[in-house]
Amino acid sequence: MRDERGAAAGPTSGLTRSAFLRGAALTMGASVGGLVLGAGPAAAAAGRVPGQSAPTTDGLTATFIGDLTGTANTGRFRVGGTDLGMPIRTPDGRMLFIFGDTFAEDTSDGTFHRAPVGLYSSTTDLNSKVVFDGAVGADRDPNGAARSLIEYDQIAPRFTTILPSDIIAVGSRLVVHVMVVDGDFPNVRRTENWYSDDNGRSWHLGCRIPSQGADADGFGKWGRMFQQLTWAVNPADGMVYILSSTFARDSGIILSRVPQQHILDPRRYQPWGFTSGTGWQWGNPPTPVLGGRFGEMTLRPVDGKWLFTFHASRDDVGDYRIDAMVFDQPTSDLTKAVRTTLLQIAPWDNESVTGVAQLYGGFVIPGSSLNDFHLAVSQWNTGTLWPYHVQQFRFQGLRDRFNV
């Protein structure tokens, strides 16, 4: 039996993802100027046009490049409504973007539900906008449609959806971290690492990681804070460094690491923690390295520094946004790191280049530099169920503005 979204039906009543995010938005103050975001009809115009630029609150230059998804852009792969889109450079030189819940129509409640899905791009000039020219699974679909990375119900039939949190390239292998959601949102039953050794064409289950409670691999000490993550290989030592938080957007961030050759072995992961006896040390119980409430994140080494972009709320009143930090090492004190706002929330009837209604995501696109970087940013009107898409934004001047 399957529910109306095409996912395997569970025994619970099930809070939908849109209801979860809509509730989270209200909790985080997504009412701007008296307008509750997502409660009314979508604006006729987005409030920005491709190529339009504007200064951010800290003096960077933001440019709206354009829509990446939607039937007008990705319909040939039966990708209409979708979100997320974390990208990686594949071993063969292309880009692969991994998206979340995906539907054939321009809506978040359509037909042919799949998750996660992957689209390829051979784009070399980011300023001309990323264009997709291939899809994972198109070679096994009679209509050339993007298919789920893994036909998951063959190995675990009970789930609501599976959402990606980040993808990494480790040598010639790609690894994607996913959250298996079962029943009510945001109930993450476990997370998993899937891997591909053929540029993302085929995917395999690498390991499963419990999301809470004690277990044989010792992941109980991470609790729920190893659900939504971002990771990157440190060129200096070859280790994979991981910043992670809860899927519910209700906690700070912790730091972990693992030797890249053991990325599929949960027993080899080490948390970074502080005790009065040892100070900060690997192997201690994890201690938050940054307080607050966080959503989607991207950590990438760029120009000899670390660029960290993230969806966050700075206070209990709201004001959620996409911010960026720059720091020297993964173990740098993030409470003292440079922080700037890239995009902030806006009502649907008053959007702009830097004000985006119901924004989330914010994944760094390969080919970016500190002074000129591009993000894949999601937007979802949870009231009307469209727009539900990914857009591309460009930001210039981070290095100059903060002298890093």
Instruction: Tell me the domains of the chain and their CATH numbers.
Output: 42-77+159-402 (2.115.10)
Q: What's residue 85's pLDDT?
A: 98
Instruction: Indicate the burial class of 74 (C-beta count within 10 angstroms; 0-12, 13-18, 19 or more).
Output: buried
Q: What's residue 297's pLDDT?
A: 97
Q: Are 221 and 271 in contact (CB under 8 A)?
A: yes
Nearest partner of 79 among 123, 21, 133, judged by Cα = 133
Q: What's residue 7's pLDDT?
A: 34
Nearest partner of 233 among 214, 249, 199, 257, judged by Cα = 257
SS3 category, 223: coil
Confidence of residue 219 (pLDDT cuts 50, 70, 90): confident
Confidence of residue 403 (pLDDT cuts 50, 70, 90): confident
Q: Which of 101-115, 209-223, 334-348, 373-387 has the lowest mean pLDDT?
A: 209-223
What is the residue whose two structure tokens read 């934004």?
393
Q: For 358-368, what is each residue's pLDDT tens digit? A: 999 999 999 99
Bond prior to 157 in cis (omega within 30° of 0): no
Q: Are 197 and 133 in contact (CB under 8 A)?
A: no
Between CA 145 and CA 57 the distance in angstroms is 41
Between CA 5 and CA 312 the distance in angstroms is 28
What is the Cα 286 distance to its own chain's centre? 22
315 has pLDDT over 60: no
Between CA 14 and CA 3 the distance in angstroms is 10
Q: Are 141 and 134 in contact (CB under 8 A)?
A: no
> Pairing relation of β-strands 270-275 and 320-327?
unpaired
4 has pLDDT over 70: no
Between CA 233 and CA 238 the distance in angstroms is 6
Confidence of residue 3 (pLDDT cuts 50, 70, 90): very low
CA dihedral 35, 40, 41, 45 (to 10 degrees): 10
Instruction: Indicate the burial class of 91 (C-beta count within 10 angstroms; 0-12, 13-18, 19 or more).
Output: middle
Q: For 7-30, what is each residue's pLDDT tens digit? A: 333 333 345 565 555 544 444 434
Between CA 239 and CA 194 the distance in angstroms is 18
Q: What's residue 19's pLDDT?
A: 55
Between CA 297 and CA 272 the distance in angstroms is 18
SS3 category, 74: helix
Confidence of residue 154 (pLDDT cuts 50, 70, 90): low
Q: For 272-305, what is each residue's pLDDT tens digit? A: 999 999 999 999 999 999 999 999 999 999 999 9
Q: What's residue 187's pLDDT?
A: 80
Between CA 380 and CA 83 the distance in angstroms is 8
List C-alpha distances in Å: 289 to 243, 280, 372.
9, 10, 27
List C-alpha distances in Å: 299 to 29, 88, 286, 329.
26, 12, 18, 11
